Amino acid sequence: MDQQLSRHERQQLKRQQREQEREQHEQQQESKQKRKKLLLWSLGVIILIGIGYIVLSLPEKPETPKQTGPYSKGQVHWHAALKVFVCGEEKLMPAPTGEHHLGLPLLHTHADRLIHIEGTVWKPEEINLGKYMDAIGQNFKDDELLDKKNGDLCNSTPGKVKLLVDGKENSLLTQYVIKDGENYMLKFEP
């Protein structure tokens, strides 16, 4: 059949074949480019969805109130009473002799064995019962009072640390913020 075609026709046929091959090649390249773009877009969308999921699943930060000044609104001289009982027996808290104080400048006791808060209180945590007991060198944790731990025997029965504020039980224990004029009782009892 090649012999029946003229030289010009054969050249034209070759050109057409080359043109078809070039068009097929361009179509293949175009198809590859489209697949590549689609893949990149899909990957981008997946990444954005992942970032969105992570951001939405993060816990919200609680708003922290901004402290605009001291907790005590200036200089104070507060007093509170504390009595400590272990298995029904009162334990006297230490007291300094003379005009000195025992504890910290802000949170201490004198010979009267009252809790004294003197100065400016910036944060309520500075004046809780746990800090006071630490300041006067006495062991007090939510589950310990002096030499007793929750579960230790008290008159052959397991005991527990308790806090009474003006006669009412309070579960804050070491975290209880001392207030002027209150009466506290720490007990280790069944």
Q: Grade residue 178 by pLDDT with cuts at 50, 70 and 90.
A: very high
Q: Grade residue 12 by pLDDT with cuts at 50, 70 and 90.
A: confident
Q: What's the pLDDT tens digit per position in 132-172?
A: 999 999 999 999 999 999 999 998 999 999 999 999 999 99
- The pLDDT score that the predictor gives to residue 67 is 59
| Percent of all residues in the chain with a pLDDT value above 70, rounded to a whole number | 94
Q: Which pTM does this prediction carry?
A: 0.64
- The pLDDT score that the predictor gives to residue 85 is 97
Contact 165/149 with Cβ under 8 angstroms? no
Give the pLDDT mean for 41-60: 87
Contact 124/76 with Cβ under 8 angstroms? no
Checking if the pLDDT of 18 tops 70, the result is yes
Strand residues in 98-178 grouped as ranges (E) = 102-103, 107-109, 115-120, 140-141, 144-145, 148-149, 153-154, 157-158, 160-165, 168-170
Q: Grade residue 173 by pLDDT with cuts at 50, 70 and 90.
A: very high
Burial of 161 (0-12, 13-18, 19+ CB in 10 A): buried
- The pLDDT score that the predictor gives to residue 174 is 96
Fill in the DSSP letter of residue 13. Answer: H
CA 56 to chain centre: 19
Residue 81 tokens, joined: 């009473």
How high does pLDDT run on average in the chain?
90
Residue 26 tokens, joined: 């361009």
- The pLDDT score that the predictor gives to residue 57 is 81
